Structure 1
Amino acid sequence: MLPDFRGSSLQTLGYQIGIALTWLAIVGLLAEAAKRFGKAENEVIRKVVHIGTGNVILIAWWLKIPLWVGVSASILFSAIALLSYYMPILPNINGIGRKSFGTFFYAVSIGVLVAWFWSINLPQYAALGILVMTWGDGLAALIGKRFGRHVYKLWDMQKSWEGSLTMALVSYAVSLLILIGTIGNIWQVWLISLVVALVATGLEAFSKFGIDNLTVPIGSAAISFFLSQLLLP
């Protein structure tokens, strides 16, 4: 049986935050190990961190971490992300001078979704949005880099059809698993997941300055929520 750390006491809050920080520390150690001993490329290390940190939303959902904690953490990590573009605070994620605010947008999107869906007691939609970005974008980048042979350009951005297909399939799977788990296995859930996957893939294709780290999670969560309100009995 999983331990029950839910509640409002200071001790319980300490357990909740401690578990979340422990997970983030593990992700950081894995990234550092991949860099030092596995000689992994910088892009692979970035995606290890990208995928690993995003799963903290599941811990927050499971432990029912308070809204104010999630939003405060988002603000803190957003500030750290901004500083990291000018100082070597997060060397495994950003390079100095990197023309992308993806890490900053990632932290902001978590705060926005926690503030929105925790406040209406529907955290599954926040988890859906973040995990679509976490797994969809993360695996799309890795697959596209390794196996992408059929490229296309969107403005001055180069993508691969292999990467975009990965984004669509993973987004669909993530949405379907969360919605079936919280709503049930009904036809509306399959349709909503399909729409989310298509929209998320379109948003991910436009990733100028890392803006997809903001548009994909918020867009995916918003679409799944509003379609659920519209289609579900």
Structure 2
Amino acid sequence: MLTEVFSLVSPPSFWVQLTVVGIWLSCVVLLAEWLGRYTETDAEIVRKVVHIGVGNVILLAWWLQIPAWMGITASVLASAIAFTSYYVPILASMNSVGRKSWGTFFYAISIGVLIAWFWPIHQPQYAALGILVMTWGDGLAALIGRRFGRHPYQLWDMQKSWEGSLTMAGVSYVVSSAILFGVQGNTWQTWCIPLAVAIVAAGLEAFSKFGIDNLTVPIASGALSFLLSKIL
């Protein structure tokens, strides 16, 4: 399975790891900056390009067997940059000064938390699962909700759509199933655990005040899949 395959391959040198990840992130940021500055692409779509592009770096980290300290350090630096960007106009395509959502900041923190938890115990698949549920689930839910959301509902002072929430649940299930299938094969747990993850992720995403779902969804998804895998 995926974990065994990755473990059979010797990890590349530190500089190769750094170069590959750096190139990927640079391409994502440059694409977002180009879309934001030189095209008429909606700002929310630009943010979701960054959201999805950056999140997939967890697969590179898993594949390249990047050490935990490197992932945690990157998370701390990204968190500091994200925090600063709310007050200083840097990387304006991702955050606007004074924006009320702290989603980018929470997103960076969640990556560091999951790497710090699952890398040392040699279970990187749960970190990848948590991040990718947020990466693809929330990213596509926001885009689908904005474009096709015809059935809104109110949660406190936040307006959501059933189309967006169902997209979040469906994508979360697909992502979780794909990762668990790659790790543990075709077992009944592989298909049952993602159902619980999908329900919890969709519920937490619905409560996204100040972008807190960028912290709660990945951590809860990774933790829940890990605990259920151990229990079942």
Same fold (TM over 0.5): yes
1:4-23 to structure 2, matched below 5 A, reads 6-7=11-12, 12-23=13-24
Alpha-carbon distance, 1:204 to partner: 0.3
Query: 4+ residue stretches of structure 1 with deviation over 4 A?
Result: none
Amino acid at match of 2:208: S
Alpha-carbon distance, 1:34 to partner: 2.3
Q: SS where residue 158 of structure 1 aligns? A: strand
Q: SS where residue 227 of structure 2 aligns? A: helix
Cα contact 2:141–2:168 (8 A) shared by 1 = yes
- Counterpart residue number, 2:167: 166
**Distance between the aligned counterparts of 2:135 and 2:184, measured in 1?**
22
**Distance between the aligned counterparts of 1:176 and 1:113, measured in 2?**
19
Amino acid at match of 1:194: L
- Counterpart residue number, 1:155: 156
Q: Are positions 1:180 and 2:181 aligned together?
A: yes
- Counterpart residue number, 1:63: 64
Q: TM-score, normalised by structure 1?
A: 0.94
- Counterpart residue number, 1:81: 82
Alpha-carbon distance, 1:67 to partner: 0.4
**Distance between the aligned counterparts of 2:183 and 2:152, measured in 1?**
37
Q: Are positions 1:143 and 2:144 aligned together?
A: yes
Q: SS where residue 152 of structure 1 aligns? A: strand
**Distance between the aligned counterparts of 2:74 and 2:34, measured in 1?**
25
Percent of residue pairs bearing the same amino acid type:
67
Cα contact 1:5–1:16 (8 A) shared by 2 = no
**Distance between the aligned counterparts of 1:28 and 1:77, measured in 2?**
12
Alpha-carbon distance, 1:90 to partner: 2.0
| Count of residue pairs brought into register by the alignment | 225
- Counterpart residue number, 2:134: 133
Q: SS where residue 159 of structure 2 aligns? A: strand
**Distance between the aligned counterparts of 2:85 and 2:39, measured in 1?**
24
**Distance between the aligned counterparts of 2:35 and 2:97, measured in 1?**
21
Alpha-carbon distance, 1:89 to partner: 1.4
Where in structure 2 are there 5+ consecutive unaligned residues? 1-5
Amino acid at match of 2:162: W
Alpha-carbon distance, 1:100 to partner: 1.2
Q: SS where residue 32 of structure 1 aligns? A: helix
1:113-124 to structure 2, matched below 5 A, reads 113-124=114-125
Alpha-carbon distance, 1:5 to partner: 6.7
Alpha-carbon distance, 1:222 to partner: 0.3
**Distance between the aligned counterparts of 2:101 and 2:91, measured in 1?**
14
Root-mean-square deviation (Å): 1.3
Q: SS where residue 159 of structure 1 aligns? A: strand
Cα contact 2:72–2:115 (8 A) shared by 1 = yes
Cα contact 2:32–2:46 (8 A) shared by 1 = yes
Cα contact 1:204–1:212 (8 A) shared by 2 = yes
- Counterpart residue number, 1:27: 28
Amino acid at match of 1:91: A
Cα contact 1:196–1:220 (8 A) shared by 2 = yes
1:72-111 to structure 2, matched below 5 A, reads 72-111=73-112
